Structure 1
Amino acid sequence: MITTQRTLMRKLSEIDREGFYEMDSDPEVHKYIFKQPINSLEEAEEGIRFIQSQYKKYGTGRLAVVDRNSNEFLGWCGIKFIEGPWNNVSDFYELGYRFTQKHWGKGYATETASAILDYAFANLPTDVIYAITDPENSGSRHVLEKLGFVYHGLFDLDGSSTTWYILTKESWVNRANKR
């Protein structure tokens, strides 16, 4: 469990299915992620089970982000282990986040990703975290750059042009020391 000023992050569970469905059934949420929104609560449950399998297999995965006061599901954020290869890199950790549309623009992605990165660099066996996003997703790119990720070009992921970002532990620690 990881907390921030406004949120609590915990493993996804079946209690998140309605919120997960609200988020992942929204075509706007999926605008930059393969344009495949889900169509049922059963698909939401499948998505949650897939993420839960990552916890078991890799010891890490996306976490539910809930409001600390209301316990409302806001979205998810977390570190996923990618066996790859993506952009000629295999066996690496990737930061990701996704929120329900009504919570966009409120700083939740930056707030939760910052806490996740603190956790990841302190607890995972890595000195580098990667991130990807659609080149047209200016909001996500802004979050990554605000966190200190460095743009490293484009690559093809499953037929889609994708931006590649890298954040080193050294640069994260240096940024933290300046805060």
Structure 2
Amino acid sequence: MTSLETPRLLLREITLADAPGILALDSDPRVLRYVPNQPITTLAEATKIIDYIRQQYERNGIGRWAVVRHDTQEFIGWCGLKLVNDSEVNGRTNYYDIGYRLLPRHWGQGFASEAATATMRYGVDVMQLPAINATVMQDNTASRSILEKVGLHMQGNFIEPDGSWWCWYEWSNTMLP
């Protein structure tokens, strides 16, 4: 699988060596505030997440990438495209979803936008995807701003079985001028 570079970041395959970083992400209530996941507490749980992502690489040729800072070589989170083909969201399946998750100490510095922009370019220019979608909890204004900044447009709202309100975002090549 390809890796991507931006001026400040390397986006590369997630490996088992990233388990401590995945554990830090998915055990932090601030990170999970706007996602439906339950916190994890062990490296074994982080390894299961990595195994799932690595299976996506093999099955679909794409999956979330580790986000690493060039200056410190530090794992700061993940970003990337995922083919949603093993579940249904908002009545849909078999679509490409852009997503990102960063450790809180790296929020507010433009890293998520930088990684998401590179990911969108890859999806559009390299993979030549006809559409890219995203789902975000309605109250997550920071994430919604990033999606809009990288070219996605809100197409509507939906309610998850737990009663939470979500937004459905989309970019498609029919939206080009």
Alpha-carbon deviation of 1:170? 5.1
Q: Deviations over 1:157-179 (max 9, x none)?
A: 343321100112354x66xxxxx
Percent of aligned pairs sharing the same letter: 36
CA deviation map 1:19-63 (0-9, x unaligned) = 111111101100111151111111111111111111011100000
State yes or no: 1:27 paired with 2:54.
no
* Structure 2 residues without counterparts, runs of 5 or longer: none
Matched, 1:161 2:165: yes
Task: Give 2:124's aligned residue.
Answer: 121
Equivalent residue for 1:104, pick from 107, 122, 129: 107
- Tell me the equivalent position of 1:147: 150
Matches within 5 A, 1:13-162: 13-34=15-36, 36-83=38-85, 84-124=87-127, 126-159=129-162, 160-162=164-166
> C-alpha separation between the residues in 2 aligned to 1:9 and 1:170?
28
What is residue 177 of structure 1 aligned with on the other side? none
Paired AA for residue 142 in structure 2: G
Q: Which consecutive unaligned segments of at least 5 residues does structure 1 have?
A: 175-179
Q: CA deviation at 1:99?
A: 0.4
Q: 2 CA distance for matches of 1:124 and 1:35?
A: 29
**What amino acid does structure 1 have at the position aligned with 2:59?**
K
Note the alpha carbon deviations across 1:51-110, whole angstroms, 9 max, x for none: 111101110000000011221001000000012432233211000000001111111111
**Could you state the TM-score of these two structures normalised by the residue count of structure 1?**
0.90
Whether the 8 Å contact between 1:27 and 1:35 is mirrored in structure 2 is no
Q: Which runs of 4+ in 1 moved over 3 A?
A: none
SS at match of 1:69: coil
Match of 1:6 in 2: 8
Report if the CA contact (8 A) 1:27-1:36 is conserved: no
Count of residues paired in the alignment: 173
Q: Is the 8 A contact 1:21 1:41 kept in 2?
A: yes
